[in-house]
Amino acid sequence: MTAGLLVLALAAGFAAGWIDAVVGGGGLLQLPALLLVPGLSPIQALATNKLGSVFGTATSALTYRRRLRQDLSTALPMAAVAFAAALGGAVVAAHLPAGVIR
C-alpha cells in the first residue's frame, strides 16, 4: 500500500466516523474507500466496514441505555431479529462471487 493510499484510507475512516457520529451512514463513505485498498477482498472490506458499525452502534446503545430506561420486552426481540438478519446477510455475502460485490 502506498503512503497516499494509506492517507486516503485514514481520511475516509475519520470522515466516516464523523458522519456516523453526527447523522449516521458513514459506511456509505467508508466501504467504497475500503474497496480501493489493494489486496483487500470485497468480503474483507465488508467485514471491516461492519466491524466499525458494530462498535459505533454498541456505543450508542450503551449511552442510550444509561440515559433512558427502555422496555426490554420490545428491544430484545428486535435485537434478535437484527442479529439473525445480519448473520443471514453475512452468509449470503460470503457465498457471492467476487465479481458481484465489486
Within 8 A by CB and 6+ apart from 31, the residues are: 45, 46, 49
pLDDT (tens place) for every residue of the chain, 102 residues total:
788 888 888 898 889 888 887 887 888 888 888 888 888 888 888 888 888 888 888 888 888 888 887 778 888 899 899 999 989 988 888 888 867 765
- Tell me how far apart the alpha carbons of residues 46 and 27 are, in angstroms, rounded to a whole number: 10
**What CA–CA distance (Å, rounded) separates 39 from 92?**
22
For residue 90, CA distances in Å to 9, 13, 63, 93, 95 come to 23, 22, 27, 5, 9
Return the pLDDT at 81. 96
**Residue whose cell numbers read 457471492:** 96
State how many domains the chain has.
1
Domain hosting 76: range is 3-101
- Asked whether the whole model's pTM tops 0.95, one would answer no
Q: Which long-range contacts (CB under 8 A, 24 or more apart) does 94-97 make?
A: 94/43
